[in-house]
Structure 1
Amino acid sequence: MQRQFPRPREVFELLRFKKPTWNARRRRLDAALTIYDLRRIAQRRTPRAAFDYTDGAAEQELSLARARQAFEDVEFNPRILRPAVDVDTTTTMLGGSSRPPFAIAPTGFTRLMQTEGETAGAGAAAAAGIPFTLSTLGTTSIEDVRAANPAGRNWFQLYIMRDREISYELARRAAAAEFDTLHFTVDTPVAGARLRDNRNGFSIPPQISLRTLLNAAVRPWWWFDFLTTPKLEFASLSSTGGTVGELLDAAMDPTISYDDLDVIRDIWPGKIVVKGVQNVDDAKDLASRGVDGLVLSNHGGRQLDRAPVPFHLLPEVVREVGNDVEIGVDTGIMTGADIVACMALGASFTMIGRAYLYGLMAGGRQGVDRTIDILEAEIVRTMKLLGVSTIAELEPHHITQLRRLTPGPSHS
Structure 2
Amino acid sequence: MIAVKRRVPRPSELAPLLRFRKPTFNRTERRLQAAFTIEDLRRIAKRRTPRAAFDYTDGAAEDELSLARARQAFRDIEFHPTILRNVATIDTSRTVLGDAVAQPFGIAPTGFTRLMHTEGEIAGARVAAQAGIPFALSTLGTASIEDVKAANPYGRNWFQLYMWKDRDRSMALVERAAAAGYDTLLVTVDVPVAGARLRDSRNGMSIPPTLTLRTVLDALPRARWWFDLLSTEPLAFASLDRWPGTVAEYLDTMFDPTVTFEDLVWIKKQWPNRLVVKGIQTIEDARAVVELGVDGIVLSNHGGRQLDRAPVPFHLLPDVARELGTETEVLLDTGIMSGADVVAAIALGARFTLVGRAYLYGLMAGGEAGVARAVEILSSQVSRTMRLLGVTSLDELGPHHVTQLHRFARGGTGRHR
Normalised to the residue count of structure 2, the TM-score between the two structures is: 0.97
Residues 282-297 of structure 1 aligned to structure 2 (within 5 Å): 282-297=285-300
Distance apart, 1:207 and its partner CA: 2.5
Alignment length (residue pairs): 409
Correspondent of 1:175 among 171, 175, 178 = 178
Q: Which residue of 1 aligns with 2:264?
A: 261
Q: 2:8 matched to 1:10?
A: no
Q: 2:354 matched to 1:330?
A: no
Which amino acid in structure 1 is aligned with residue 97 of structure 2?
Answer: L
Q: 2:179 matched to 1:207?
A: no
Q: Which residue of 2 aligns with 1:401?
A: 404
Decide whether the 8 Å contact of 2:207 with 2:242 is kept in 1. no
Q: Which residue of 1 aligns with 2:249?
A: 246
Correspondent of 2:313 among 268, 286, 310 = 310
Distance apart, 1:2 and its partner CA: 5.0
Q: Which residue of 2 aligns with 1:222?
A: 225
Correspondent of 1:150 among 132, 148, 153 = 153
Decide whether the 8 Å contact of 1:233 with 1:240 is kept in 2. no
Distance apart, 1:239 and its partner CA: 5.4
Which amino acid in structure 1 is aligned with residue 41 of structure 2?
Answer: L
Residues 63-212 of structure 1 aligned to structure 2 (within 5 Å): 63-212=66-215
Distance apart, 1:301 and its partner CA: 0.1
Distance apart, 1:73 and its partner CA: 0.2
> What is the DSSP-based 3-state SS (H/G/I as helix, E as strand, rest coil) of the residue aligned with 2:158?
strand
Q: How far apart are the structure 1 equivalents of 2:253 and 2:44? A: 34
Q: How far apart are the structure 2 equivalents of 1:146 and 1:65? A: 34
Structure 1 vs Structure 2 CA RMSD? 1.1
Q: Which residue of 2 aligns with 1:386?
A: 389
Distance apart, 1:391 and its partner CA: 0.5
Of 7-16 and 311-320, the range deviating more from structure 2: 7-16
Q: Which residue of 1 aligns with 2:415?
A: none
Q: How far apart are the structure 2 equivalents of 1:258 and 1:150? A: 33
Correspondent of 2:235 among 232, 237, 247 = 232
Distance apart, 1:235 and its partner CA: 2.7
Where do 4+ consecutive residues of structure 1 move more than 2 Å? 1-4, 235-241
Q: How far apart are the structure 2 equivalents of 1:4 and 1:69? A: 53
Q: How far apart are the structure 2 equivalents of 1:181 and 1:383? A: 28
Correspondent of 1:28 among 11, 26, 31 = 31
Distance apart, 1:233 and its partner CA: 2.8
Q: How far apart are the structure 2 equivalents of 1:201 and 1:240? A: 13
Decide whether the 8 Å contact of 2:344 with 2:402 is kept in 1. yes
Deviation string for 1:140-195 (max 9, x for gaps)?
A: 00000000000100000000000100111110000000000000110011000000
Of all paired residues, the percent bearing the same amino acid is: 64
Q: How far apart are the structure 1 equivalents of 2:266 and 2:166? A: 14
Q: How far apart are the structure 1 equivalents of 2:352 and 2:22? A: 39
Q: How far apart are the structure 2 equivalents of 1:240 and 1:110? A: 16
Q: 2:373 matched to 1:373?
A: no
Gaps of 5+ in 2: 413-417
Distance apart, 1:238 and its partner CA: 4.5
Of 77-86 and 26-35, the range deviating more from structure 2: 77-86
> What is the DSSP-based 3-state SS (H/G/I as helix, E as strand, rest coil) of the residue aligned with 2:337?
coil
